[in-house]
Structure 1
Amino acid sequence: MGLSLLALSVQTVTDRTSNPFGLRPPFDRTGADDRTAVFGYGDANADFHVIGDHPGVHGGKRTGVPFTETEAGLAIQTALRDVDRPFVTGPRERPELDNCYWSYLHMCCVPDGHQPTEQGYADLERYFDAELRAINAHILLPVGERATDHVLREYTTQRRRVDLDMASLHAGDLRGRGFMVVPIRDPTTWEHGDRAALVDKLTAVLESDYRQTKGVATRVG
């Protein structure tokens, strides 16, 4: 499905929580009984878009829902539940999301013990890009170094100005002309205070006039 069709269909699929745009993975490297991909999940009209790496890191190979199952995925989910106006309610394996959308750079699953290839990330980039633009969130929250690097490199002009030190970037903000990026350190490396810093940052953003930044229709920086 191309970008133009995604943009046209966004208003007609918002009642679908999982894979609202009907994406079809371009390849399958899993066994016959394994899940092919973990698709985007949540509110397709969300202002906040949380971007993970792949199902093996941030979860969903069993549930089909991003940010479930794994320690890292559940840590993100818990932080989003703890915000003053929670983004997440309901059961952990099939949560209800309000004003929040979750997706991965690499939605396709790979066999246990394997990592996605660089070619795999490249093959899936256009799918991620089309979905990100269709969601058109105000706030992008990339989780981990790869997702943060990708968002800053592809959707802003900030990457060359920023040292990709996730401990320093965590729960801060990088502003462009169209939206705000709030990088999140991967939870497997969180230290004391990192979860609270993220919760506090999201609470502060919700209390601000964040809608003054809008959209990713063009490159920003």
Structure 2
Amino acid sequence: MDANQLDVSNPFGMDTDCENCPALCETRTNVVHGYGDVGADFAFVVDAPGPGADASGIPAFHDAGGDRFRRILERCMLCASASPPEAPELSNAYVTSIARCHHPERDPTDEEVGNCEPYLNAELRMINPEILVPVGDRVLSELAVDYTTTDADALSVDEHHATSVRGRGFELAPMRDPAEMTEANADEFVAFFAELMASDYRQTKGRRER
């Protein structure tokens, strides 16, 4: 699977007609795959698409908390403030999700998240980021199983927001759900990110040249 960086929306050309979850095929408008810089050091992983992401085909930015999420990325110098709302211009950041289809009345089931796992794994394998940013408690729990040596039950986004969690091949930097965080929480993450950027966060993983 090759990336097309000329297209920042679904740059890996993943299936936009996926029928792995029959109950979601009629409720969704778009299969919402990842968005952003395929050479990114930072991969932000969010929960299932809400109505805004379902309509736009872009995860996170048009859902609840999307404005705060964008402001955080702008303050971290990962999103160009001058880019249009409908097409955020990301640099060194990729945004994706644990589930790809919207249901207007419920969260995705564990089975549905499992059906989407190959998409997420393929994206992370291709991008090979240095830092995974799980956004929200469910995402942190899902990623902890495969990407950390820590018991998922021992991790909570309330406790680990804006901190580093050692992972398997990746470092995790959990973030509270922007729809639920305070401005103080946002400031904490931006300050943490500034310290992270000032550190030698890149690991020796055989990364390709950017």
Whichever residue aligns with residue 94 of structure 1, its letter is A
Equivalent residue for 1:138? 130
Equivalences for 1:144-163 in 2 at 5 Å?
A: 144-159=136-151, 163=154
Q: Distance in 1 between matches of 2:171 and 2:206?
A: 10
Q: How many residues align?
A: 201
Q: Residue 50 of structure 1 contacts residue 101 of structure 1 at CA under 8 Å; is this kept in 2?
A: yes
Equivalent residue for 2:9? 18
- Sequence identity percentage: 34
Equivalent of 2:111, from 111, 119, 126?
119
Equivalences for 1:105-116 in 2 at 5 Å?
A: 105-110=98-103, 112-116=104-108
Deviation at 1:30, TM superposition (A): 4.4
Equivalent residue for 1:197? 188
Q: TM-score, normalised on structure 1?
A: 0.82
Q: Distance in 2 between matches of 1:116 and 1:144?
A: 14
Equivalences for 1:29-48 in 2 at 5 Å?
A: 29-31=24-26, 34-48=28-42
1:41-97 CA-partner distances (Å, limit 9, x unpaired) = 00001000000011128x4112111122223232222111112xx101112221000
Whichever residue aligns with residue 208 of structure 1, its letter is S
Q: Residue 66 of structure 2 contacts residue 179 of structure 2 at CA under 8 Å; is this kept in 1?
A: no
Equivalent of 1:73, from 41, 47, 66?
66
Q: Distance in 1 between matches of 2:163 and 2:64?
A: 23
SS in 2 for 1:49: strand
Q: Distance in 1 between matches of 2:31 and 2:165?
A: 30
Q: Distance in 2 between matches of 1:188 and 1:97?
A: 20
Whichever residue aligns with residue 43 of structure 1, its letter is D
Q: Distance in 1 between matches of 2:167 and 2:46?
A: 21
Moved more, 172-181 or 118-127: 172-181
Whichever residue aligns with residue 115 of structure 1, its letter is D
1:83-134 CA-partner distances (Å, limit 9, x unpaired) = 2xx1011122210000000001001222x22322222111111111111111
Runs (5+) with no aligned partner, structure 2: none
Equivalences for 1:52-91 in 2 at 5 Å?
A: 52-56=46-50, 59-83=52-76, 86-89=77-80, 90-91=83-84
SS in 1 for 2:56: coil
Q: Distance in 2 between matches of 1:192 and 1:80?
A: 14
Whichever residue aligns with residue 53 of structure 1, its letter is D
Equivalent of 1:49, from 26, 39, 43?
43
RMSD: 2.2
Equivalent residue for 2:94? 101
Runs (5+) with no aligned partner, structure 1: 1-5, 217-221
Q: TM-score, normalised on structure 2?
A: 0.86
